[in-house]
A and B are shown apart, each in its own frame.
Chain A
């Protein structure tokens, strides 16, 4: 039962093959058994079972929706009323929000059951989950490998089937990169599609929540529940939300898939490249047309991002000052020392690094050269995509330049770590929807992720293209050994 997708579980619940309480207990048990993965920071079984009972009662009353009673895990960046929200940080180790994030509210309203909160890089800053105060998440395919990050806990949980589905957030690749490294499906929606209210901010102009699932169909189902305008988030877009499952089965004949030459150039691991090439062949068989496109400013994405994201973060994280909530140093002489000690103790080194980079970039005398210049680059990068989409409908490439690396391998080399997001970052800068879908394995048995990039608010077509591939392949059905 635990191997089933959300769509299949929904059918099983509807057919009364299993109750939500049983299903919830099943996943709670699995979370307990596979504690060593360190995928969860907080699990609240009692609360989950209460929700499951309520869901079963709803079903008994004939009021069940498509997601009623399905368990899920939330990345520990979404505020949940009554369950601690740590954001992977010592700073918020004991923080319990007095309110629910809009995404949490919507998912609760859909009748889903929250199993717990998943591990993540501290304040979503990292690509390996090693910056978490609660320790790294292990990759279910090989415990020596990183899960990717920052939504590493959600990716590992879904890959190991500790939860059928999970939420994640993506600022520069934090849904897609761990999805690729753990062999699952992840979707970062267009900026503005999903409310950011109650989602702890890293870089406000780039952050976006999205589903992390086994299949594209599940991603469509979960996105249906997550998406929509929120009057509490001024950057959410007031546009009608389509039924993302409606277009899933459309034929790919005539669909133009753009292949950006910059994504297949130097730096791409040969085995990853080979897996992507095979996927391209599959798409051709499905009737899609391949088009060569160019994103000439891709090379500027990483430096641009590492000015803008830290700049915003340096300001967003100022509220963690030890005054109202969060960690406060035990001893201090005066106000300044209270700030300095609380923040020095509460934040890990990667967070501090980014706060310092961001503060520097915004400082008088440097603002024009860094922040303003990066904003100009951002526009150029976005224009690259606009031009590319003149000749294609969807863009295809690898999600990451290589498969999962070993824990500890890159943790002392921030630049090498930053480069693992080289193909994902520009999508955030342009505000576009992007997905990672499983596309095979390298010779060491590590999953390869295929990235699909859609047009602004074009999630439905993106999901259609991903779903068609999953109908013709079974990579997304493979499970890591030891979790079957």
Chain B
């Protein structure tokens, strides 16, 4: 068990213009569960593979514990990886798959057997130990992939979108199992996903990446409450935060016919800012921004209103989303007023940074 640290790690593929991973600085504490999340191409998988040694590090260092492993072979790093499509050895049984690494490490047969049984019990794989991967369902194969990682008792687990090949229901189930397992074993885990819900529910901390650059790494709550920039603000939370790019006039911005006060420190810094409000932070009622509803999504407990801000002289402006109570939501075509809840406004500079 050890910490995992990226120190200015960079990976630049010769063919492309920008680095796949750009001077990444991130440290995962011993026993922590950190999720790397972001849209495809953001560099999260590449970063994971750099820890494993499957990608060369062009500049910067990778440390596992106190050891600098940047130049080490994968087999010397003592990390285990769960691949997206599991990479199970098709010609070996489940037991042999799990025991392969242990056999190479020359662990005694008795110990190998014991570890495999332990892991199998933990993952409900006992009845399948003598089967081959082709005879298993997707969920079972996924558990074998995890079992293969667990028996090695490595310093860190690396997981590359392990749930993406499962159907939705299984995904939720397995998500919980993985989180519980990690808490029980206490192994440092770095987990990659493109699904922000997985990230928010599983991670101790979440690192949001975009175009190879780390945007923000913080606990899920922090990411939700104070996103560091527009990208994070939009990425985290579903439906996404409403973002309006507006000029500042007299310490306020105008949304439709509603004026929103902007704190003075912020207006001093910028002429045009981006204002963010999450759909769930509107009060539907008497005052605030006026909205023309185009679509109502009823989800049972909640309903989401999709529409546009209506302005002076009935012009239609920016799109806006608001959450309403599912019991009796407004109808399509209605106009409602949305009052932003105090304390839930986010302000960003024109370049995306959070203000102040």
Asked if A and B bind, the verdict is no
